[in-house]
Amino acid sequence: MKQYKTLGELKKSGYRPRSIKQELRENLIEKLHNRETVFEGVLGFDDTVIPDLERAILSRHNMLLLGLRGQAKTRLARLMVHLLDEYMPVVAGSDMNDDPLQPISRFAKDLIAEKGDDTPISYVHRSERYVEKLATPDVSVADLIGDVDPIKAATLKLPYSDERVIHFGLVPRAHRSIFVINELPDLQARIQVSLFNMLQEGDIQIRGFKLRLPLDITFVFTANPEDYTNRGSIITPLKDRIESQILTHYPKTIEIARKITEQEARIAEPAKKAVSIPDLHSILLETLSFTARDSEFIDEKSGVSARLTIAGMENLVSTAERRMLLNKEKKTTTRITDFWGVVPAITGKVELVYEGEQEGPYAVAIALLSQSVKELFLETFPNPDKLQRGQQRDPYGTIRAYFSGGNTLDLMNDASDKDYKKALDDVAGLRKLAENYDLPKDEIYTYMELILHGLSEFNIINRDIVENRLSFKDLLADMLGDDEGYEEY
């Protein structure tokens, strides 16, 4: 867009004012005609949330994005900026983004009256036309709308009723912009009331003085349904004035969840090159979050954010990287034992119900991991509990016999790749069982470890978590306490 320097040049160019809602609408129509991706980087919403959002923009609505934490509500709002024109002309020096042909502030009107077509014009980039405010209990009407400035009144020798003594808040300064209020229910009810006229009539009231300012703003609000009961609520008259309410949701499939985690996880480039993550482990991490959302120990209303798996992936890679550095290796692959390093990413991101609090955050995290391992194990290997005796050869028989013979397997958390593989190879029948299935050859040890963890979930063998290692042994031997007692039995 050519940038004109004066009001006269702008008029001759054929420039026409249009509202921000009309601007969003027209630019969206163009993108839809060209089959362009409108909300880049938002995955899993193509058939649900994004169509609703596009319909709201086409309808020129203010909107409320309603959903649990970690459902990309704020990201969607921020991406709306790309539907704005790249540059917008304003009266130079204006604090309120005054349109040169439709000024609303006293400053802009006086300047145009004084200079006419010589009024200087400046341009605002679309990135500056986005204002975001996190609703907190301490937000005041002055923050959002504005207040009388006594210093201005004294300096200019003007009465408080004069518009020029008003210090405008965030909303008036967001004229011709997108204004986002995150976590709307956290805003006190009396502050929510101050937004009524902004949404409906477009005027504002400051300290009892009513100013007719035809502000041109697209409002986007975000809220978490949990907030309605825990911290506050959106008052009904305000909710009635928000034309479109759009429900967000968590990823509906493991594949979409994996793509989100891969896209969002911030992994250092050296670690990314040195640490290999088998598909099984990536699926295990996402399965863990799906399991958490269905867990009886976790508050369903609070939800389980996508940030759990993002932080979990970062911790998983860092756990493997740390082990690699300790062993002075150049490359490594993640292991199921590395998932114990993911536990801190789980405990801080789930809200426990009473039963979960009784169990404790760590125990709940381990239980979620165990259940997820069990699910993945059953997707590849037969259920040990459903093997029919006498009619089918037990595929786990050799492994059972190995541990029944008093053998123990210790998987050290920081074991080198060489020691890790040797420990798994020493278990009789383990490699042969894994090779009986159509598995990726470069992930054979990954599945060998999965078999051990899976068998421990079905109490075929016992697994003990002891500080820096996982110890696998015969279940009965462990119950009796020592090998000698087991021999006597």
List the single range of 205-209, 291-295, 337-341 with lowest mean pLDDT: 205-209
Question: Shortest CA distance to 80 belongs to which of 107, 40, 114?
Answer: 40
Per-residue pLDDT at 482 exceeds 60: no
> CATH assignment of 7-247?
3.40.50.300
Q: Give the pLDDT score at 202.
A: 64
Confidence class for position 143, pLDDT limits 50, 70, 90: confident
Q: Which CATH number fits domain 254-380: 1.20.1630, 1.10.8, 1.25.40, 1.20.120?
A: 1.10.8
pLDDT tens per residue, range 180-205: 999 998 888 888 888 887 787 666 66
Confidence class for position 235, pLDDT limits 50, 70, 90: confident
Rounded to the nearest 10°, the torsion over CA 361, 362, 367, 368 is 70
pLDDT tens per residue, range 27-50: 999 999 999 999 999 999 999 999
Question: Is 157 buried (19+), middle (13-18) or exposed (0-12) by CB count in 10 A?
Answer: exposed
Question: Shortest CA distance to 404 belongs to which of 455, 465, 468?
Answer: 455
Confidence class for position 388, pLDDT limits 50, 70, 90: low
Backbone angles phi, psi at 31, to 5 degrees: -65, -40
Tally of CB atoms within 10 A around 293: 14
Q: Which tops the pLDDT comparison, 354 or 206?
A: 354
Per domain, the residue ranges of the chain are 7-247, 254-380, 384-488
